[in-house]
Amino acid sequence: MDLRQLHYFVVVAREGNFTRAADLLHMAQPPLSRQIQALEDELGVQLLLRKHRPVRLTDAGRVFYEQALQILARVEQMKEATRRVGLDQRRVLSIGFVGSTLYADVPPLVRQLRKHDPDLEIQLVELTSVQQVDALNEGRIDVGIGRIPHNDPNVMGIVLREERLAVAIPVNSRLAAVDGPVKVSDLHGERLVVYPQSPRPSFADQVLGVFQANGVRPGEVHEVREIQAALGLVAAEVGVCVIPVSARQMRQDIRYRLLEGERAVSPIILNHRVNDDSRYLGLIKQLLQKMYDEKPAWLGNDG
């Protein structure tokens, strides 16, 4: 599979007609048909219903079409950003982040960076904490904002702050009937939903570590890929889920209570290459410290 095939498929799907698509692509129809067939053969699924007029997408084709559009758009953005940098028109700063930091630290930081340097091209890349270390070593990002400590000698990890944890609780649970913080010991035997499922170590291991540090054993543990799925299971009364306090805004059909107990926090960690003396790294540290000093509501330090 290559980008050319993706482009061919998108044009056919958009036009709903092989002849028109071939004209737009300045090629004959038979080789276009062969390229789409080769794509289907490689994927092992049918993408187009050719007997319909106009040609229609299968369910698999609709998924592939949406993904292909995103990939082609991202490639164009990459090309344009590279041209700008090559022509000295814009500097680029790539920031890796774990998804949960989008509810607090990352958005205000990016706004302040753009305010200080409107010509700076900021690329945000969602990566787990483990993936950020690899991306820094490979030069794919400049800094990372994660949650899991590491021991890579080439990457410096600075704990910016310790974020409190909260428990997402089904509305009909006995735990939802009480206000105020909940102790880790109160969760003994409760079914627990953790995320992400992989790669590990991850926030899921931090949560399980909190239970272990408090001598508490949860009941059945369900592992899911992301926080949205985890909170969906809480709403479906599958179990409770421990989350960063800043993520409490995500769903309104469940209850949230702060968590109290040993190690009931999750660090926010700034990762960067050792000996990095770029001015942007210094600026990021300055802006983050200023943000924390102002004690915004998203710090979640309520009792």
Instruction: Give the residue extent of every domain in the chain.
Output: 3-86, 90-303
Mean pLDDT of 148-157: 93
pLDDT in tens, 250-264: 888 999 999 999 999
Q: What is the pLDDT of residue 301?
A: 56
pLDDT in tens, 72-129: 988 887 787 677 666 655 578 999 999 889 888 999 999 999 999 888 889 999 999 9
CB–CB of 120/114 below 8 Å?
A: yes
Mean pLDDT of 167-192: 95
CB–CB of 97/107 below 8 Å?
A: no
- Supply the mean pLDDT for the chain: 90
* Residue, of 66 and 269, whose pLDDT is higher: 269
Beta carbons within 8 Å of 297's beta carbon, 6+ residues apart: none
| Range scoring the smallest mean pLDDT among 85-99, 234-248, 279-293 | 85-99
Q: What is the pLDDT of residue 295?
A: 81
Q: What is the pLDDT of residue 58?
A: 92
CB–CB of 142/228 below 8 Å?
A: no
Whole-number percent of the chain with pLDDT over 70: 96
Pairing outcome for strands 221-223 and 192-194: parallel
Q: What is the pLDDT of residue 59?
A: 92
* CATH code for residues 3-86: 1.10.10.10
pLDDT in tens, 207-224: 999 999 999 999 999 999
Mean pLDDT of 128-135: 92
Query: Looking at the predicted structure, is the pLDDT value of residue 160 above 50?
Result: yes
Mean pLDDT of 141-153: 93
Confidence of residue 303 (pLDDT cuts 50, 70, 90): very low
State the Cα–Cα distance between residues 56 and 49, nearest whole angstrom.
Answer: 5
- What DSSP letter does each residue of 90-128 carry, written as one string? -EEEEEEE-GGGGGTTHHHHHHHHHHH-TTEEEEEEE--
Q: CATH class for domain 90-303?
A: alpha beta
State the Cα–Cα distance between residues 182 and 175, nearest whole angstrom.
Answer: 8
**3-state SS, residue 188:** coil
State the Cα–Cα distance between residues 251 and 255, nearest whole angstrom.
Answer: 9
Closest CA to 204 of 233, 188, 225: 225
Total count of residues recorded for the chain: 303
Q: What is the pLDDT of residue 88?
A: 57
Q: What separation, in Å, do the N-terminal and C-terminal C-alpha atoms of the chain show?
A: 54
Mean pLDDT of 16-38: 93
Backbone angles phi, psi at 26, to 5 degrees: 55, 50
Chain centre to alpha carbon of residue 249: 17
State the Cα–Cα distance between residues 190 and 267, nearest whole angstrom.
Answer: 25
Query: Looking at the predicted structure, is the pLDDT value of residue 17 above 50?
Result: yes
> What pTM did the predictor assign?
0.67
